[in-house]
Amino acid sequence: MSQPDLVRPRYREGQQLSVDDLVAEQDHLIATRRRHDITSHSWGIAHGLTLSAQASGLVIAPGYAVDSLGRPLVVPDPLRLRWTDLPSGPDSLDISLQYEEEEVADRVTEGVGVLVVAGGVGPTAAVFLGRLVRSSGTPPYVPAESQLTYLDAEGGSVTAQTGTELALGADPLLSVRIPDDTGTPVQRLAVTAAGRTVVDGTLETPDVNLTEDQALRFGNPVPEPQQAWPWRWYQTELLADGVVTGRQLRVEVGAPKPTDVPDWYRFAVSNGTGLPPLAVDAGGTATVGGDLKVQGPLVLGPLSADPDDPRLNSALLGTWLNAVDQGSRAVDQRFSGDLFDTASLTVTLTALVSPEPPPATQPPATQPATVPPPTTPTFDYAVKIADNSTRQISNTTVVAMTTVNGDRTTEVLLRIPSLAPGASQQLTKSVTLPGAGATVRVEVFALGLLPGGRITLGAADLDWQDTTTIP
Write out pLDDT tens, residues 55-89: 889 999 998 888 878 788 888 889 999 988 888 88
Tell me the per-residue pLDDT of 144-194, one tens digit each, with 9 for 90 and over: 864 444 444 445 566 666 778 887 776 777 888 888 888 888 888 888 877
The answer, yes or no, to whether residue 384 has pLDDT greater than 90, is yes
What local confidence, expressed as pLDDT, does residue 11 receive?
77
What local confidence, expressed as pLDDT, does residue 433 receive?
87
The answer, yes or no, to whether residue 426 has pLDDT greater than 80, is yes
What confidence tier does 311 reach under pLDDT thresholds 50, 70, 90? low
Residue whose C-alpha is closest to residue 175's, from 141, 152, 203, 198: 198
For residues 265-273, average pLDDT = 71
Q: Which has more pLDDT, 404 or 170?
A: 404
What confidence tier does 271 reach under pLDDT thresholds 50, 70, 90? low
Q: Name the CATH superfamily for 310-353+376-465.
A: Immunoglobulins (2.60.40.10)
Please, which residues have CB within 8 angstroms of residue 108's CB and are 6 or more apart in sequence? 101, 102
The answer, yes or no, to whether residue 464 has pLDDT greater than 70, is yes
Residues pairing with 429 in the sheet? 381
Taking every pair of Cα atoms in the chain, the longest distance, rounded to a whole number of angstroms, is: 113
| Cα 216 from Cα 439, distance rounded (Å) | 57
Tell me the per-residue pLDDT of 111-123, one tens digit each, with 9 for 90 and over: 889 988 886 655 6
What local confidence, expressed as pLDDT, does residue 148 receive?
45
| Cα 166 from Cα 187, distance rounded (Å) | 10
Question: Which stretches of 275-344 are assigned E, i.e. beta strand?
Answer: 278-281, 286-288, 340-341
Please, which residues have CB within 8 angstroms of residue 339's CB and are 6 or more apart in sequence? 454, 455
| Cα 419 from Cα 415, distance rounded (Å) | 11
Identity of residue 327: G
The answer, yes or no, to whether residue 401 has pLDDT greater than 80, is yes
Write out 86-120 in H/E/C secondary structure: CCCCCCEEEEEEEEEEEEECCEEEEEEEEEEEECC
The answer, yes or no, to whether residue 416 has pLDDT greater than 70, is yes
What confidence tier does 324 reach under pLDDT thresholds 50, 70, 90? low
What confidence tier does 214 reach under pLDDT thresholds 50, 70, 90? low
- 292 within 8 A of 286, measured Cβ to Cβ: no
What local confidence, expressed as pLDDT, does residue 171 receive?
75
What confidence tier does 386 reach under pLDDT thresholds 50, 70, 90? very high
| Cα 346 from Cα 388, distance rounded (Å) | 7
Q: Which of 108-122, 429-443, 450-464 bottoms out in mean pLDDT, i.e. has the lowest?
A: 108-122
The answer, yes or no, to whether residue 334 has pLDDT greater than 80, is no
Other CB atoms within 10 Å distance of the CB of residue 110: 13
Does the pTM surpass 0.85? The reply is no
The answer, yes or no, to whether residue 252 has pLDDT greater than 80, is no
pLDDT averaged over every residue in the chain: 76
Tell me the per-residue pLDDT of 30-46, one tens digit each, with 9 for 90 and over: 777 766 665 556 678 87
| Cα 161 from Cα 338, distance rounded (Å) | 72
Domain boundaries, the chain: 44-143, 157-200, 266-301, 310-353+376-465
What confidence tier does 310 reach under pLDDT thresholds 50, 70, 90? low
- Please classify residue 385 by burial: count the beta carbons closer than 10 Å to its beta carbon, then call 0-12 exposed, 13-18 middle and 19+ buried: buried
What local confidence, expressed as pLDDT, does residue 274 receive?
63
Most confident range, picked from 93-107, 311-325, 349-363, 375-389:
375-389
Q: Which of 150-154, 276-280, 460-464, 465-469 bottoms out in mean pLDDT, i.e. has the lowest?
A: 150-154
What local confidence, expressed as pLDDT, does residue 150 receive?
41
For residues 379-398, average pLDDT = 91
> What is the helix, strand, coil percentage profile of the chain, to 5?
10, 40, 45
